[in-house]
Amino acid sequence: MSAEQGKTVSPSTAPKFGRLDADMGDVDVALGRAREHLLTLQHPDGHWCGELEADSMLEADYIFLHTLLESGDPGRLQRAFTEMMRYQNDDGSWSIYPGGPGNISLSVKCYFSAKLMGLTADEPRMAKCREWILAHGGVIECNTFTKMYLCALGQYDYDAVPAIPPEIVLFPNWFYFNIYEISSWSRSILVPLAIMYAKKPFKKIQPEQGIDELYVGGRANSILRLRRDRKKLFSWRNFFIVIDRIMHWSEAVHLRPLRKLAIKRAEKWMLDRLEMTDGLGAIYPAMMNAIIALRCLGYSEDDPQVIRARDEFEKLGIEQPATEDMPEPTFRMQPCMSPVWDTAQAVYALGEAGLPADDPRMVKAADWLLSKEVRQKGDWAVKVPNVEPGGWYFEYNNEFYPDTDDTAQVLMALSKVTNPRERLQIQVAERAIDWEFAMQCKNGGWGSFDKDNTKMIFQYIPFADHNAMLDPPTVDITGRMLEMLAAYGYNQSDKRVQKAIQFILSEQEPDGSWFGRWGVNYIYGTFLVLRGLEAIGFDPLEPQVQQAAEWVRMVQNPDGGWGETCGSYDDPNLRGSGVSTPSQTAWALLALLAAGDDRSDSIAKGIRWLLTHQRPDGNWDESMGAGPTRQNIITGTGFPRVFYLSYDMYRLYFPLLALTTYKKAMERAA
């Protein structure tokens, strides 16, 4: 390397030619600002919790819920309507991520909610939306969850919705088709939805609020065509469709000998899981469905169960006062809250960034995390019965649903803290690691909430069109697991570690990247895999690692940053393609550094991108648009192709970690 290439420069004095290495003094300044800003966001009890944003479905469903139950604050509903309408696309549709194509289910929900709030069909925004919906097949193209909600207000036929019989809760755990063979989130959504299907709630609305105009060729003809649409003589999907029609026939003739028992069992299942939690599953759809299911079961408005379920649901709301950029106040809903996740990420990043392990703020955060340890068996124990409870969940309280990813990140965070209660912290960590190993899947990887949740046949069930029926092992969680295990002294001599490595290597894409299930997308998956492999001692010169690093360098944007659109879940050709963001730039840099690359132009340009885009307060901006149309860019994943998330703090603690890792690499190379 030439002398010119090895010279470091500050952003203000960077040459037009040659390397673009940042001055380490500038890196230190940026690190200091980011670290201090992150510390200002810590709550008095020690935890962090950034806002979690999703799409306009949450506000549309909020309006639907309160319309159905004749409840809600009118002012808040109006503010939710204002929030929903500001995200309408120019073509009239709504998208599930900023800059994405219109989504039929979301657009129908928003159109209907707008009518419920008083907009008429001939209003220009509504006419444009209606035109878009009809051009994309109309109401019958919506997913099952949307159709169920439409049924409750008389805008779709229960007989035309895929059957969700409550009898599914009666299947024994050893039976192939039991509720513990579907993902935990689908389980918590579907059980109350099955109660709704059995009870068939209905509220009559005003004729002008209806959406018959959204059916291509009229409502009756559209639903008739849907029932006749059978393209193949035999397929698993058509097999389940036949079963579905049989169940509908039994509904029509009231041939349901086990219905009363099934509803009682579903009710008990739901009530049990409303305990020790911030609402059923502590996630928006399940919480909303539980409220409706309770009312369907006859629970009154003033019943403690209903009051508590409503209170937990409303806690997800955020009131936004009017500002110069946003002249009208709005109200938005979060899909859930992320305090355990944000706290674990923040503590780990701060520990890596040099905050002393015995700093009172670190100890307070560790104590808060320790207070959230799971000590009761949940749904996971159906498949893993003989292990002591341990681990952590994502939200403030969700005792039935700890997950392997949060648990791994919390353990990494605790490894950065010297706690006066050292013995307790060690015992908790040992329990959690034992639990993690018990949750390892047969193929060596880890899923999120359950073990070996991989029966692909479930994706063909008619009501499984939300694309999230399963919780299979993923490389992103497995990569984080390897990094955590390395922090606690495990290495490649452990057979369980070897199996995890083989799983990861078997999942590598031909171009060298890895798919990211819980973050957008291949950049996220590749970053976590390479971090895990590096930590566990996998040789960085192995071709799998170097091919991955080359892929990361190849997808770098001309401005020096990295970004990837949620569209890469629909079209793999878009992998690594998107506007540069702080979080994804940080992931890419962390991936390259984990692969042993600390001197390439890609690294230098990426670090400079982070430095030049940092705000004076130490944070970074991760949004697009301005004023009323401003939206946070999505870099988190709920359900690929269906539901995405924006984590408010990703743009802070991941760049902090990337700059810290770069600084350490430079110090080692000096």
Residue 221 pLDDT grade (very low, low, confident, very high; cuts 50, 70, 90): confident
Q: In this structure, what token pair is assigned to residue 384?
A: 């893993």
3-state secondary structure 27-51: HHHHHHHHHHHHHHCCCCCCCCCCC
Residue 256 pLDDT grade (very low, low, confident, very high; cuts 50, 70, 90): low
Q: Which helix (H) or strand (E) segment is 318 a member of?
A: strand 317-320
Query: Tell me, what's the pLDDT at 249?
Result: 53
Q: Please tell me whether residue 597 adopts helix, strand or coil conformation.
A: coil
According to DSSP, the residues that pair with 95 across neighbouring strands are: 102
Phi, psi (rounded to 5 degrees) for 418: -95, 110
Nearest to 203 by CA among 307, 66, 59, 60: 66
Q: How far apart are CA 190 and CA 174, in angstroms?
A: 20
Contact 368, 87 (CB under 8 A): no
Q: pLDDT of 126-180, one tens digit each?
A: 999 999 999 999 999 999 999 999 999 999 999 888 888 899 899 888 887 789 9
Give the percent of the chain with pLDDT over 70.
Answer: 92
Contact 325, 339 (CB under 8 A): no
Residue 467 pLDDT grade (very low, low, confident, very high; cuts 50, 70, 90): confident
Give me the half-sphere count of Cα atoms (radius 13 Å) on the Cβ side of residue 479.
27
Provide the pairing of β-strand 317-320 with 623-624.
unpaired
Type of residue numbered 647: Y
Nearest to 60 by CA among 52, 68, 51: 68
Nearest to 607 by CA among 28, 7, 5, 4: 28
Q: How far apart are CA 277 and CA 558, in angstroms?
A: 46
Q: pLDDT of 310-326, one tens digit each?
A: 999 999 999 999 988 88
Q: Which of 405, 476, 597, 648 is catalytic?
A: 405
Check whether 272 has a pLDDT greater than 60. Answer: yes
Q: In this structure, what token pair is assigned to residue 257?
A: 């000998």
Position with higher pLDDT, 21 vs 393 = 393
Overall residue count recorded for the chain in this entry: 670
Q: pLDDT of 40-56, one tens digit each?
A: 999 999 999 999 999 99
Rg (CA), the chain: 25
Q: In this structure, what token pair is assigned to residue 121?
A: 């069909």
Check whether 604 has a pLDDT greater than 70. Answer: yes
Tell the residue number behind the tokens 């799983």, with chain if given: 503
Give me the mean pLDDT over the 207-217 stretch. Answer: 95
Q: How far apart are CA 363 and CA 354, in angstroms?
A: 14
Residues 6+ apart with CB under 8 A from 285: 61, 145, 189
Q: Which helix (H) or strand (E) segment is 331 a member of?
A: strand 330-333
Contact 95, 120 (CB under 8 A): no
Contact 448, 471 (CB under 8 A): yes
> How many whole angstroms from its chain centre is CA 96?
13
Query: Tell me, what's the pLDDT at 2?
Result: 35
Query: Tell me, what's the pLDDT at 3?
Result: 35
3-state secondary structure 382-441: HCCCCCCCCCECCCCCECCCCEHHHHHHHHHHHCCCCCCCHHHHHHHHHHHHHHHHHCCC
Provide the pairing of β-strand 623-624 with 330-333.
unpaired
539 given a catalytic annotation:
no
With 0-12 CB in 10 A as exposed, 13-18 as middle and 19+ as buried, what is 213?
Answer: middle
Q: How far apart are CA 500 and CA 441, in angstroms?
A: 9
Tell the residue number behind the tokens 């919906």, with chain if given: 133
Cβ atoms within 10 A of the Cβ of 432, count? 26
Nearest to 561 by CA among 493, 516, 620: 620
Q: How far apart are CA 50 and CA 47, in angstroms?
A: 10
Check whether 613 has a pLDDT greater than 60. Answer: yes
Type of residue numbered 460: Y
Type of residue numbered 344: A
Position with higher pLDDT, 210 vs 670 = 210
The structural domains of the chain, ordered by start, are: 22-42+491-670 (1.50.10.20), 55-333 (1.50.10.20)
Query: Tell me, what's the pLDDT at 193?
Result: 95
DSSP state of 569: G
Cβ atoms within 10 A of the Cβ of 251, count? 18
Residue 244 pLDDT grade (very low, low, confident, very high; cuts 50, 70, 90): low
CA dihedral 383, 389, 392, 397 (to 10 degrees): 100
Residue 228 pLDDT grade (very low, low, confident, very high; cuts 50, 70, 90): low
End-to-end CA distance of the chain: 14
Give me the mean pLDDT over the 60-80 stretch. Answer: 97
Contact 35, 351 (CB under 8 A): no
Cβ atoms within 10 A of the Cβ of 624, count? 14
Residues 6+ apart with CB under 8 A from 5: 18, 19
Question: CA distances (Å), 461 to each of 160, 222, 414, in order?
Answer: 15, 22, 42
Q: How far apart are CA 282 and CA 274, in angstroms?
A: 9
Helices 184-199, 284-296: crossing angle, 10 deg rounding: 30
Give me the half-sphere count of Cα atoms (radius 13 Å) on the Cβ side of residue 418.
5
Query: Tell me, what's the pLDDT at 6?
Result: 34
Q: What is the full DSSP assignment across 70-118?
A: T-S-HHHHHHHHHHHHTT--TTS--BSSTTPPB-HHHHHHHHHHHHHTT
Q: Please tell me whether residue 62 adopts helix, strand or coil conformation.
A: helix
Question: What predicted TM-score, i.e. pTM, was given to this entire model?
Answer: 0.93
Give me the half-sphere count of Cα atoms (radius 13 Å) on the Cβ side of residue 421.
17
